[in-house]
Amino acid sequence: MKTTSNFLLLSTLIGGLLFSYIFWEEWLALNQLIYSVFIITVTIFNNEVIKSNKFKIYAIAHLLAAVLVVVNNSALSAVTYYISLVLFVGFAHYQAVRTIYIAGMATVMQMITVPATLLKRLSDVQIGKFSLRPVFRPIKYIILPLIILFVFTAIYSGANEVFAHYLDLTFTNISNFFNSIFGFIFQDLSLPRFFHFCLGILVTAGLIITFYNKSIEKLEATCKERLLRIRRSQKPKSIWYEVAHTFTSQIITKKMALKTEYVIGLISFISLNLLLLSVNLIDISTLWFGYKPAGNFSADLHDGTNALIFSIILAMAVILYFFRGNLNFYSKSKTLKILAIGWMVQNFILIISVFIRDGYYIEFYGLTHKRIGVLVFAVLCIVGLVTVYIKVTKQKTLFYLFKVNGNIWFALLLAFSLINWDVFIVKYNLAKSDQVGIDVDYLLSLSDKTLPVLDKHRSKLHYTPAKKGYEKEIAKPQTADFYRDQLDKRIGYFKERYQEVSWLSWNLQDWNTAEYFGLNKHE
Residue 305 within a domain: yes
**Do residues 115 and 213 both lie within one domain?**
yes
Count of domains in the chain? 3
481 shares a domain with 363: no
Q: Are residues 108 and 213 in the same domain?
A: yes
Question: Residue 279: its pLDDT value, please?
Answer: 86
**Does 76 map to a domain?**
yes
Give a yes or no: residue 44 inside a domain.
yes
**pTM, 2 dp:** 0.80
Based on the domain organization, do 372 and 453 belong to the same domain? no
pLDDT (tens digit per residue) in 256-276: 567 777 888 888 888 888 988
Same domain, yes or no: 383 and 446: no
Residues 202 and 275 in one domain: no
Same domain, 392 and 500: no
The answer to whether residue 406 is domain-embedded is: no
User: Could you tell me if 210 and 346 lie in one domain?
Assistant: no
237 assigned to some structural domain: no
- Domain end among 381, 396, 411: 396
Same domain, yes or no: 270 and 125: no
Torsion of CA 450, 416, 89, 67, to 10 degrees: -50
3-state secondary structure 454-504: HHHCHHHCCCCCCEEECCEEEECCCCHHHHHHHHHHHHHHHHHHHHHCCHH
Task: Confirm if 237 and 254 have CB atoms less than 8 A apart.
Answer: no
Reported in sequence order, the residue ranges of 114-224 that DSSP labels E, i.e. its strands, are 126-127, 130-131
Domain co-membership, 44 together with 104: yes
369-416 pLDDT tens trace: 988 988 898 898 899 889 888 888 888 888 888 899 999 999 999 999
Report if residue 480 sits inside a domain.
Answer: yes
Boundaries of domain holding 471: 438-516
The separation between the first and the last C-alpha atoms of the chain, rounded to the nearest angstrom, is 52
Clarify whether residues 273 and 355 are in a common domain. yes
Residues 42 and 117 in one domain: yes
pLDDT computed for residue 144 by the predictor: 65
- Residue ranges in the chain whose pLDDT is less than 50: 234-235, 240-241, 244, 247-255, 466, 469-472, 474, 522-523
- Please report whether residue 180 resides in a domain: no
**Paired residues of 396 in beta bridges:** 226
Q: Is residue 181 part of a domain?
A: no
